[in-house]
Amino acid sequence: MHGRLKVRTTEEQQLLKRKEQQKKLMAYRLGMKQILESRKQDTYDPKSLAICAQLLMVNPDIYTLWNYRKEVVLLELKADNDESEQLANFLENELKLTEQCLLANPKSYGSWHHRYWVLARHPNSNWQNEFDLCSKYLTMDERNFHCWDYRRLVLNKIGITLGDELKFSTNRININFSNYSSWHYRSTLQALTADCVQDELSLVKSALFTDPMDSSAWFYLRWLLSNSVVTHDHMRDLLDNLNQLLELEPECKWILVAKCWLLKNLQMDEGSYKTEQIASYSKLQEIDSMREGQYVDYLKLLQLD
Amino acid sequence: MAIPIKDIKLPEDSPKELLLDKHVEFIKRYGKSDDDYEFGMSDYLRMSGMYWGLTALELVDKLHILPENDVIDFIKRCQDPETGGISACIDHDPHLLYTLSAVQILCMYDRLDAVDASAVVNYVTSLQLPDGSFTGDKWGEVDTRFSFCAVATLALLNRLDAIDVEKAVSFVESCKNFDEGFGSRPFSESHAGMVYCCLGFLSITGRLDIVDRDTLAWWLCERQLPSGGLNGRPEKLPDVCYSWWVLSSLTMLGRLHWISAPALKRFILACQDVETGGFSDRPGDVADPYHTVFGFAALSLLGFDSIKPVNPTFCMPQHVIDKLKIKHQLL
């Protein structure tokens, strides 16, 4: 049970709650029984299908019920060869159900999968509608990874290019620098090349200077720096920037960590950076003591050199 | 626009000692409570629920307090004669998640003979797609969690040869992200739960070399928040289950010492329910067997004397893995 607060109740309230729960449990068991008994290969019982929808709206994680629905969808699709209105209505109903389930529980794997599964078999699937739905859910929770994954699936169907998405991601990052999901998404949209790397570094820099305490952009920076298209000039430039930022925020661990990456990369041809790295890691040991073990490991490596 | 770190404050009166007996009672009671609402409504994940409860008990040497024969009999009845897969519960459909849970339980009891093991192997094999990925069941959902379930099940049955391991590895590798973490599918954001599954997968297949160890370990150790608890993604709240996903991952990478053990211990102990027993996700929330086993397992990795050593790859007692001589890689 995630995030469910334990509430203190009186004995009377508890009794009442237990009664209520017994009723619900009984209804659940009766419903399951009816559905499983009516589950056959060649036909289905509409009443059971309706009960199934009710149970899923209460708990969309009951995977066997989604399986049952898929069997029914396949029966409907098989029975209908000429794309009739009845079939359209039936499939529309399935989509509505998943939407209701997702509103109640936007992180239900079963609901997302059922939705995509139905649409993939739909004779006239409206992918634009799916794209809009994604945008709506992302506004509600911009970290919902199911939704980001779904967005990526839908893109291809409506001809949105990765270039369009890059603009979308720049927008989102500019609205909120600390959205890790947007940075992740961005990393999947383009290969880093000599042409784009300057823009990427600038975007990261503006995020770092806006709020150096926020972690997201630092992870993106580490990734950029691991790529061979980042030159020593880029790195020296960035090191200057970080030193300026450090004067404003001398206790910010992220700046020190990133400084050490740069110093390590640059010391290949310029030997004088070791003392500065040792100083930074020693300071990190102090201000970020939870991760002391990591800094001690790096200090040991430096002393071995 | 400085955003405060998302975290919680541990209540001052939080428990500071391990309430072992209470937890044992909690698990025992949970398994017997057929009329209980939470229990009754969670039959769709019963097999995993049993794995959580029984593993927790075995980690504190109390497996014998529940009747072994009932458990084995239940598992037998959950194997689907048609596909060989195992379901969460009688009358539910077979699925890889519950197939693994069942096999894990059988290994703990040393009773793999109770099911048709070659049918299980066939079931797992039937779920591999041409790109190397695995679906959870015949309905086609792909996820790296299922890649883990597949190889863990086969490794426990000593039948890794039954699938195309090389392709399975290349699919998992295609789910690796810019931060060296893993998501549920290619291009999906990294998530500590999937990081555990993918590292567990690579540990079993002996391919931990495909990750940049220190970059991923950095992402993982940054999951520790000032409260001492670990979150599953940046800017999320801490949760006891991530104590396990993150800690076991760090252990597989040989970087357990990159987080503060005393702070994490404090957080986990604070998530115990002093009245009912059991652990919850965060202090003050409702306890359940899921958070209880992962609380125990994390404390075991942190070296708690009263809990048996746990294996970081399989989340099973180490002595079970040793006895079965299951090969796996740790850095």
Which pLDDT score is estimated for B40?
86
**CB distance A219–B219 less than 8 Å?**
yes
Asked if residue A39 lies in contact with residue A31, where contact means CB atoms within 8 angstroms, the answer is no
Query: In this structure, which amino acid lies at residue B136?
Result: G
Nearest to B258 among A18, A25, A293 (CB): A293
CA distance B264 to B194: 21
Closest CA to A134 of A120, A119, A121, A149: A149
CA distance B125 to B57: 31
> In this model, does residue B2 exceed pLDDT 70?
no
Residue whose tokens read 């300057």: A198
Counting one residue from A and one from B, how many pairs have CB atoms under 8 Å apart?
152
Which pLDDT score is estimated for A82?
65
Nearest to B178 among A62, A178, A187 (CB): A187
Helices (H), chain B: 20-32, 37-40, 46-59, 68-78, 96-109, 117-126, 144-156, 165-173, 192-205, 213-221, 240-252, 261-270, 289-301, 318-324
Nearest to A291 among B178, B185, B221 (CB): B221
Q: What HEC string does B163-195 produce?
A: CCHHHHHHHHHCCECCCCCECCCCCCCCCHHHH
Task: Determine which helix (DSSP H) or strand (DSSP E) holds A116, and give its type and residue range.
Answer: helix A109-121
Distances (CA, A) of B213 to A91, A220, B179, B255: 47, 17, 11, 9
Question: How far B68 CA sits from the closest chain A CA (Å)?
Answer: 26
Closest CA to B172 of B204, B137, B148: B148
Structural domains present in chain B: 20-324 (1.50.10.20)
Chain B contacts in chain A segment 20-79 (CB below 8 A): 21-22, 24-25, 28-29, 32, 36, 59, 61-64, 66-67, 70
Query: In this structure, which amino acid lies at residue B17?
Result: E
Task: Determine which helix (DSSP H) or strand (DSSP E) holds B310, and give its type and residue range.
Answer: strand B310-311
Phi, psi of B316 (to 5 degrees): -135, 160
Token code pair at residue B331: 């850095």
Asked if residue A229 lies in contact with residue A253, where contact means CB atoms within 8 angstroms, the answer is no
Closest CA to B218 of A290, A175, A31: A290
Closest CA to B177 of B201, B144, B222, B207: B144
Helix axis angle for A109-121 and A85-104, nearest 10°, is 160
B7 interfacial to chain A (CB closer than 8 Å) = no
CA distance B46 to A233: 58
Measured between CA atoms, the residue of chain A closest to residue B35 is A22
Token code pair at residue A108: 């239900």
Question: How far B325 CA sits from the closest chain A CA (Å)?
Answer: 32
Distances (CA, A) of B18 to A2, B137, B291: 22, 39, 14
In the three-class reduction of DSSP (H, G, I as helix; E, B as strand; rest coil), residue B270 is classed as helix
Asked if residue B62 lies in contact with residue B91, where contact means CB atoms within 8 angstroms, the answer is no
Query: In this structure, which amino acid lies at residue B63?
Result: L
- Tell me the sheet residues that pair with B86: B79
Token code pair at residue A123: 């004779």
Residue whose tokens read 């990750």: B211
Distances (CA, A) of A150 to A147, A154, A157, A160, B185: 5, 6, 11, 14, 11
- Give the model's confidence band at B110: pLDDT under 50 very low, under 70 low, under 90 confident, else very high: very high
How many residues would you count in chain B?
Answer: 331
A289 interfacial to chain B (CB closer than 8 Å) = yes
Asked if residue B264 lies in contact with residue B226, where contact means CB atoms within 8 angstroms, the answer is no
Task: Determine which helix (DSSP H) or strand (DSSP E) holds A296, and give its type and residue range.
Answer: helix A292-304
Least confident among A84-93, B19-28, B230-239, B322-331: A84-93
B236 interfacial to chain A (CB closer than 8 Å) = yes
CA distance A198 to A158: 31
pLDDT digits (tens, 9 = 90+) for B116-126: 999 999 999 99
Cβ neighbours, 10 Å, residue A151: 20
Q: Which of A63, A216, A291 is the best mutation test for B, with the most CBs of B within 10 A?
A: A63
Average pLDDT of span B90-114: 97
* pTM listed for this prediction: 0.96
Q: Which of B5, B37, B146 is the best mutation test for A, with the most CBs of A within 10 A?
A: B37
CA distance B98 to B167: 24
Question: How far B92 CA sits from the closest chain A CA (Å)?
Answer: 6
Phi, psi of B228 (to 5 degrees): 100, -20
pLDDT digits (tens, 9 = 90+) for B76-85: 999 999 999 9
Which pLDDT score is estimated for B286?
92
In the three-class reduction of DSSP (H, G, I as helix; E, B as strand; rest coil), residue B238 is classed as coil
Structural domains present in chain A: 193-304 (1.25.40)
Closest CA to B117 of B143, B89, B155, B167: B155
Distances (CA, A) of B196 to A205, A252, A266, B166, B312: 32, 30, 33, 19, 9
Chain A contacts in chain B segment 269-298 (CB below 8 A): 273, 280-282, 284-286, 288, 290-291
CA distance B281 to A1: 7
Who contacts B305 (Cβ-Cβ below 8 Å, separation ≥6)? Answer: none
**CB distance B260–A152 less than 8 Å?**
no
Question: How far B234 CA sits from the closest chain A CA (Å)?
Answer: 7
**CB distance A223–B224 less than 8 Å?**
no
Chain A contacts in chain B segment 40-99 (CB below 8 A): 40-41, 44-45, 87-88, 91-93, 95
Asked if residue B115 lies in contact with residue B79, where contact means CB atoms within 8 angstroms, the answer is yes
Which pLDDT score is estimated for B1?
41
pLDDT digits (tens, 9 = 90+) for B152-196: 999 999 999 999 999 999 999 999 999 999 999 999 999 999 999
Token code pair at residue A304: 């071995």
Query: CA triplet B244, B136, B70: central angle to 5 degrees?
Result: 70
β-strand B316-317 against B310-311: which pairing, if any? antiparallel
**CB distance B235–A143 less than 8 Å?**
yes
Which pLDDT score is estimated for B77?
98
> In this model, does residue B15 exceed pLDDT 70?
yes
Token code pair at residue A209: 């200077």
Measured between CA atoms, the residue of chain A closest to residue B1 is A211
Provide ipTM, 2 decimals: 0.95
Which pLDDT score is estimated for B258?
98
Q: Could you tell me the maximum CA-CA distance found in chain A, to the nearest angstrom?
A: 78
Chain A contacts in chain B segment 146-165 (CB below 8 A): none
Per-residue pLDDT of chain A (305 residues; tens, 9 = 90+): 677 787 777 888 888 888 888 998 999 999 999 999 899 777 899 999 999 999 999 999 999 999 999 999 999 998 876 668 889 999 999 999 999 999 889 999 999 999 999 999 998 899 999 999 888 888 888 899 999 999 998 998 899 999 999 999 999 899 888 889 999 999 999 999 999 999 999 999 999 999 999 999 999 999 999 999 999 999 999 999 999 999 999 999 999 999 999 999 887 555 668 889 999 999 999 999 999 999 999 999 988 86
Query: Over the Cα atoms of chain A, what is R_g?
Result: 27
